[in-house]
Structure 1
Protein backbone atom coordinates (compact mmCIF):
# COMPACT_ATOMS: atom_id res chain seq x y z
CA UNK A 1 0.00 0.00 0.00
CA UNK A 2 1.49 3.34 -0.99
CA UNK A 3 0.99 6.42 1.10
CA UNK A 4 -0.62 9.14 -0.97
CA UNK A 5 0.79 12.56 -0.55
CA UNK A 6 -1.09 15.81 -0.43
CA UNK A 7 -0.51 17.50 -3.79
CA UNK A 8 -2.21 20.84 -3.15
CA UNK A 9 -0.74 23.25 -0.66
CA UNK A 10 -3.13 24.22 2.11
CA UNK A 11 -0.52 26.62 3.55
CA UNK A 12 -1.81 30.12 4.20
CA UNK A 13 -4.05 32.27 6.37
CA UNK A 14 -7.81 32.14 5.99
CA UNK A 15 -10.45 34.46 7.47
CA UNK A 16 -13.95 33.20 8.24
CA UNK A 17 -16.36 34.62 5.67
CA UNK A 18 -19.60 32.80 6.49
CA UNK A 19 -20.96 29.91 8.52
CA UNK A 20 -24.17 27.88 8.68
CA UNK A 21 -25.70 26.09 11.70
CA UNK A 22 -23.07 27.34 14.20
CA UNK A 23 -25.37 27.50 17.24
CA UNK A 24 -27.23 24.19 16.78
CA UNK A 25 -23.96 22.37 16.07
CA UNK A 26 -22.15 23.84 19.10
CA UNK A 27 -25.11 22.87 21.32
CA UNK A 28 -24.99 19.33 19.86
CA UNK A 29 -21.31 18.96 20.87
CA UNK A 30 -22.09 20.39 24.32
CA UNK A 31 -20.26 23.71 24.08
CA UNK A 32 -21.49 25.90 26.98
CA UNK A 33 -24.07 28.57 26.00
CA UNK A 34 -21.83 31.46 27.13
CA UNK A 35 -19.05 30.29 24.76
CA UNK A 36 -21.55 29.93 21.92
CA UNK A 37 -22.82 33.48 22.51
CA UNK A 38 -19.27 34.86 22.60
CA UNK A 39 -18.11 32.90 19.56
CA UNK A 40 -21.00 33.28 17.14
CA UNK A 41 -20.12 36.80 15.94
CA UNK A 42 -16.34 36.62 16.24
CA UNK A 43 -14.18 36.44 13.15
CA UNK A 44 -12.00 33.39 13.06
CA UNK A 45 -8.54 33.15 11.47
CA UNK A 46 -7.17 29.76 10.44
CA UNK A 47 -3.45 29.51 9.74
CA UNK A 48 -2.13 26.38 8.05
CA UNK A 49 1.51 25.44 7.60
CA UNK A 50 1.93 22.38 5.41
CA UNK A 51 5.16 20.52 4.69
CA UNK A 52 4.33 17.49 2.55
CA UNK A 53 1.97 15.36 4.67
CA UNK A 54 2.80 17.26 7.89
CA UNK A 55 0.37 19.97 8.99
CA UNK A 56 0.31 22.63 11.70
CA UNK A 57 -3.09 24.30 12.05
CA UNK A 58 -3.86 27.21 14.37
CA UNK A 59 -7.41 28.53 14.66
CA UNK A 60 -7.81 31.85 16.49
CA UNK A 61 -11.29 33.02 17.44
CA UNK A 62 -11.19 36.07 19.69
CA UNK A 63 -8.96 35.08 22.62
CA UNK A 64 -9.48 31.33 22.03
CA UNK A 65 -6.62 29.60 20.19
CA UNK A 66 -6.68 25.95 19.13
CA UNK A 67 -3.43 24.47 17.81
CA UNK A 68 -3.14 21.03 16.21
CA UNK A 69 -0.25 19.28 14.46
CA UNK A 70 -0.63 16.05 12.53
CA UNK A 71 0.75 13.88 9.75
CA UNK A 72 -1.70 12.36 7.28
CA UNK A 73 -2.23 8.70 8.15
CA UNK A 74 -0.75 8.87 11.69
CA UNK A 75 -2.71 8.89 14.96
CA UNK A 76 -2.59 12.24 16.76
CA UNK A 77 -4.18 13.93 19.79
CA UNK A 78 -6.48 16.72 18.60
CA UNK A 79 -7.38 19.68 20.81
CA UNK A 80 -11.10 20.39 20.67
CA UNK A 81 -13.11 23.61 21.13
CA UNK A 82 -14.50 22.09 24.35
CA UNK A 83 -10.96 21.84 25.79
CA UNK A 84 -10.80 18.05 25.55
CA UNK A 85 -8.38 16.02 23.42
CA UNK A 86 -9.37 13.24 21.03
CA UNK A 87 -7.10 10.70 19.31
CA UNK A 88 -7.73 10.29 15.60
CA UNK A 89 -6.15 9.91 12.15
CA UNK A 90 -6.46 12.41 9.29
CA UNK A 91 -6.87 10.90 5.84
CA UNK A 92 -6.63 12.48 2.41
CA UNK A 93 -9.63 12.27 0.07
CA UNK A 94 -8.51 13.15 -3.45
CA UNK A 95 -5.88 15.88 -3.75
CA UNK A 96 -7.56 18.62 -1.74
CA UNK A 97 -9.72 17.26 1.09
CA UNK A 98 -8.67 16.29 4.62
CA UNK A 99 -11.05 14.00 6.57
CA UNK A 100 -10.94 13.27 10.30
CA UNK A 101 -13.43 11.52 12.59
CA UNK A 102 -13.46 13.00 16.09
CA UNK A 103 -15.74 10.72 18.15
CA UNK A 104 -19.22 11.37 16.72
CA UNK A 105 -18.10 14.36 14.59
CA UNK A 106 -16.78 13.95 11.05
CA UNK A 107 -14.74 16.90 9.80
CA UNK A 108 -13.92 17.53 6.14
CA UNK A 109 -11.62 20.42 5.19
CA UNK A 110 -11.44 21.14 1.50
CA UNK A 111 -9.34 23.61 -0.44
CA UNK A 112 -11.16 25.13 -3.42
CA UNK A 113 -9.25 27.89 -5.21
CA UNK A 114 -8.79 30.60 -2.54
CA UNK A 115 -11.46 29.24 -0.19
CA UNK A 116 -11.16 26.83 2.73
CA UNK A 117 -14.40 24.89 3.16
CA UNK A 118 -14.93 23.17 6.52
CA UNK A 119 -17.88 20.80 6.89
CA UNK A 120 -18.49 19.23 10.31
CA UNK A 121 -21.22 16.62 10.67
CA UNK A 122 -22.77 15.01 13.74
CA UNK A 123 -25.73 12.74 13.02
CA UNK A 124 -27.90 14.63 10.51
CA UNK A 125 -26.65 18.09 11.62
CA UNK A 126 -24.07 19.82 9.42
CA UNK A 127 -22.04 22.92 10.33
CA UNK A 128 -20.36 24.66 7.39
CA UNK A 129 -17.61 27.29 7.52
CA UNK A 130 -16.28 29.13 4.48
CA UNK A 131 -13.03 31.04 4.88
CA UNK A 132 -11.19 33.13 2.27
CA UNK A 133 -7.42 33.20 1.84
CA UNK A 134 -5.97 36.50 3.12
Structure 2
Protein backbone atom coordinates (compact mmCIF):
# COMPACT_ATOMS: atom_id res chain seq x y z
CA UNK A 1 0.00 0.00 0.00
CA UNK A 2 1.37 3.41 -0.95
CA UNK A 3 1.10 5.96 1.85
CA UNK A 4 3.28 8.73 0.43
CA UNK A 5 1.55 12.09 0.24
CA UNK A 6 0.46 15.20 2.07
CA UNK A 7 -2.84 15.00 3.93
CA UNK A 8 -4.78 17.87 5.51
CA UNK A 9 -6.84 17.27 8.64
CA UNK A 10 -10.56 17.09 7.93
CA UNK A 11 -12.15 15.97 11.18
CA UNK A 12 -12.12 13.67 14.17
CA UNK A 13 -14.47 11.56 16.24
CA UNK A 14 -14.37 11.20 20.05
CA UNK A 15 -11.25 13.37 20.37
CA UNK A 16 -11.93 14.73 23.87
CA UNK A 17 -12.88 11.35 25.32
CA UNK A 18 -9.81 9.62 23.86
CA UNK A 19 -7.17 12.20 24.87
CA UNK A 20 -8.54 12.37 28.42
CA UNK A 21 -8.44 8.57 28.72
CA UNK A 22 -4.80 8.42 27.65
CA UNK A 23 -3.86 11.19 30.09
CA UNK A 24 -2.89 13.97 27.68
CA UNK A 25 -2.26 17.26 29.50
CA UNK A 26 -5.06 19.82 29.27
CA UNK A 27 -2.89 22.34 27.41
CA UNK A 28 -2.08 19.69 24.76
CA UNK A 29 -5.76 18.73 24.55
CA UNK A 30 -6.75 22.32 23.87
CA UNK A 31 -3.93 22.80 21.36
CA UNK A 32 -5.05 19.72 19.42
CA UNK A 33 -8.76 20.45 19.38
CA UNK A 34 -9.83 21.34 15.83
CA UNK A 35 -6.17 21.82 14.98
CA UNK A 36 -5.55 21.92 11.24
CA UNK A 37 -2.68 19.42 11.17
CA UNK A 38 -0.99 18.52 7.90
CA UNK A 39 0.50 15.03 7.85
CA UNK A 40 3.24 14.38 5.35
CA UNK A 41 4.30 10.80 4.64
CA UNK A 42 7.46 9.94 2.75
CA UNK A 43 7.72 6.25 1.90
CA UNK A 44 10.59 4.35 0.34
CA UNK A 45 9.58 0.68 0.36
CA UNK A 46 9.28 -0.25 4.05
CA UNK A 47 11.02 2.95 5.25
CA UNK A 48 8.78 5.80 6.40
CA UNK A 49 9.15 9.38 7.55
CA UNK A 50 5.85 10.48 9.11
CA UNK A 51 5.72 14.21 9.85
CA UNK A 52 2.88 16.17 11.37
CA UNK A 53 2.93 19.94 10.80
CA UNK A 54 1.01 21.93 13.41
CA UNK A 55 -0.13 25.56 13.14
CA UNK A 56 2.52 27.92 14.44
CA UNK A 57 5.41 25.99 12.91
CA UNK A 58 5.71 23.06 15.34
CA UNK A 59 6.42 19.69 13.73
CA UNK A 60 6.68 16.14 15.02
CA UNK A 61 8.45 13.47 12.99
CA UNK A 62 8.62 9.70 13.46
CA UNK A 63 10.96 7.74 11.20
CA UNK A 64 10.59 3.97 11.09
CA UNK A 65 11.03 0.81 9.05
CA UNK A 66 8.23 -1.76 8.99
CA UNK A 67 9.18 -4.70 11.22
CA UNK A 68 12.12 -2.98 12.96
CA UNK A 69 12.23 -1.28 16.34
CA UNK A 70 12.39 2.53 16.11
CA UNK A 71 12.55 5.54 18.40
CA UNK A 72 9.12 7.19 18.36
CA UNK A 73 7.28 10.11 19.96
CA UNK A 74 3.67 10.29 21.16
CA UNK A 75 1.28 13.14 20.42
CA UNK A 76 2.00 14.29 23.98
CA UNK A 77 5.75 14.44 23.33
CA UNK A 78 6.84 11.29 25.19
CA UNK A 79 9.67 9.26 23.64
CA UNK A 80 9.44 5.47 23.41
CA UNK A 81 10.50 2.51 21.27
CA UNK A 82 8.09 0.58 19.05
CA UNK A 83 8.05 -1.89 16.21
CA UNK A 84 5.68 -0.68 13.51
CA UNK A 85 3.95 -3.42 11.53
CA UNK A 86 1.92 -3.72 8.34
CA UNK A 87 -1.30 -5.71 8.76
CA UNK A 88 -3.93 -6.03 6.02
CA UNK A 89 -2.65 -2.87 4.30
CA UNK A 90 -2.68 -0.86 7.54
CA UNK A 91 0.27 0.56 9.43
CA UNK A 92 -0.05 -0.60 13.03
CA UNK A 93 1.83 0.57 16.12
CA UNK A 94 1.38 0.22 19.86
CA UNK A 95 2.15 3.48 21.62
CA UNK A 96 2.67 3.45 25.42
CA UNK A 97 -1.04 3.73 26.22
CA UNK A 98 -2.87 3.50 22.90
CA UNK A 99 -3.01 1.39 19.74
CA UNK A 100 -2.68 3.26 16.45
CA UNK A 101 -3.55 2.26 12.89
CA UNK A 102 -3.29 4.20 9.63
CA UNK A 103 -4.63 3.32 6.21
CA UNK A 104 -5.45 4.92 2.90
CA UNK A 105 -9.19 4.94 2.10
CA UNK A 106 -10.43 6.67 -1.03
CA UNK A 107 -7.18 8.63 -1.35
CA UNK A 108 -7.42 9.89 2.23
CA UNK A 109 -5.25 9.03 5.22
CA UNK A 110 -7.41 7.59 8.00
CA UNK A 111 -5.76 7.23 11.41
CA UNK A 112 -7.45 5.49 14.33
CA UNK A 113 -6.14 5.53 17.89
CA UNK A 114 -7.73 3.49 20.65
CA UNK A 115 -6.88 3.18 24.30
CA UNK A 116 -5.14 0.01 25.38
CA UNK A 117 -6.67 -1.64 28.43
CA UNK A 118 -4.29 -3.70 30.50
CA UNK A 119 -5.47 -6.20 33.09
CA UNK A 120 -3.08 -7.36 35.76
CA UNK A 121 -3.96 -10.29 38.03
| TM-score, length-scaled by structure 1 | 0.80
Which stretches of structure 1, 4 residues or more, deviate above 3 A after TM superposition?
none
Counterpart check, 1:73 vs 2:67: yes
- Aligned CA-pair RMSD: 1.4
Contact residue 16 and residue 45 of structure 1 kept, 8 A: yes
Q: Deviations over 1:16-41 (max 9, x none)?
A: 11101111111122221122122202
Structure 2 spans left out of the alignment, 5+ residues:
none
Question: Between Structure 1 and Structure 2, how many residues are aligned?
Answer: 116
| Larger RCO (CA within 8 A; separation ≥ 6) | 1
Structure 1 spans left out of the alignment, 5+ residues:
1-7, 125-134
Q: Which has the higher strand share?
A: 1
Counterpart check, 1:31 vs 2:48: no
Secondary structure at the aligned position of 1:19 is classed as coil
Secondary structure at the aligned position of 2:9 is classed as strand
Cα offset for 1:98?
0.5
